[in-house]
């Protein structure tokens, strides 16, 4: 049985990047209000941009907390996801023999850091119980190959 935890390194880097872009964009708006209409209109656009960045950062922070409380388990017969936070728990598992397909996804940050997301499908439905995702795992291609050989 293999048990591993998703890395939050990728999320932290993404938070850093978002904060950097937010500072650059908001500074540009603040220093050149004429660029965005001037007067109160510039203030409103500044507030809109600040709100969107704040929302994006908050969303990443929530994701980091959730991932830090998540564990992925691969047994000889099942794939399992466990998550527990403030008395709220969630587990989801799929039997290996019902596995129909696997998808390895890597965005730019994940690829640069050597992480990836593995998506396992049993019935092809996006959010149905036949769907499980191992997010931000190290050497995702190795994990995929191991599961593939286990299934065969």
> Cβ closer to other proteins: 20 or 38?
38
Minimum Å distance from CB 8 to other proteins?
18
- C-alpha to C-alpha distance for 86 and 19, rounded to whole angstroms: 28
C-beta of 3 vs 107, nearer to other proteins: 107
Query: Least distance (Å) from other proteins to the CB of residue 123?
Result: 9
Select 4 or 46, whichever has its Cβ closest to other proteins: 46
φ and ψ at residue 141, rounded to 5 degrees: -65, -35
Q: For 97, which DSSP code? A: G
Contact (CB, 8 A) for 104 and 116: yes
Q: Write the CB contacts of 124 (distance below 8 Å, at least 6 apart in sequence).
A: 100, 101, 130
Question: Computed from CA positions of residues 99, 103, 109, 115, in that sequence, does the dihedral angle turn out positive or negative?
Answer: positive
Write out the residues near other proteins by the rule CB under 8 A. 37-45, 47-48, 51-52, 55, 58-59, 62, 124-128
Min CB(89)–other proteins separation in Å = 18
Neighbours of 76 (CB within 10 A): 8
Of residues 28 and 55, the one with the C-beta less far from other proteins = 55
Q: How far is the CB of 62 from other proteins (least distance, A)?
A: 8
């Amino acid at each position: 049985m293999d048990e591993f935890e998703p890395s939050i390194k990728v999320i932290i880097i993404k938070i850093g990047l978002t904060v950097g872009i937010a500072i650059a964009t908001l500074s540009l708006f603040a220093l050149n209000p004429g660029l965005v209409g001037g007067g109160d209109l510039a203030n409103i656009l500044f507030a809109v941009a600040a709100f969107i960045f704040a929302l994006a950062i908050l969303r990443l922070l929530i994701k980091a907390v959730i991932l830090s409380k998540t564990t992925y388990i691969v047994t000889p017969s099942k794939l399992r996801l466990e998550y527990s936070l403030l008395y709220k728990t969630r587990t989801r598992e799929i039997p290996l023999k019902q596995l129909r397909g696997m998808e390895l996804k890597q965005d730019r940050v994940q690829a640069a850091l050597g992480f990836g997301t593995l998506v396992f499908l049993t019935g092809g439905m996006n959010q149905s119980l036949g769907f499980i995702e191992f997010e931000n795992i190290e050497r995702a291609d190795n994990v995929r190959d191991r599961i593939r050989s286990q299934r065969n």
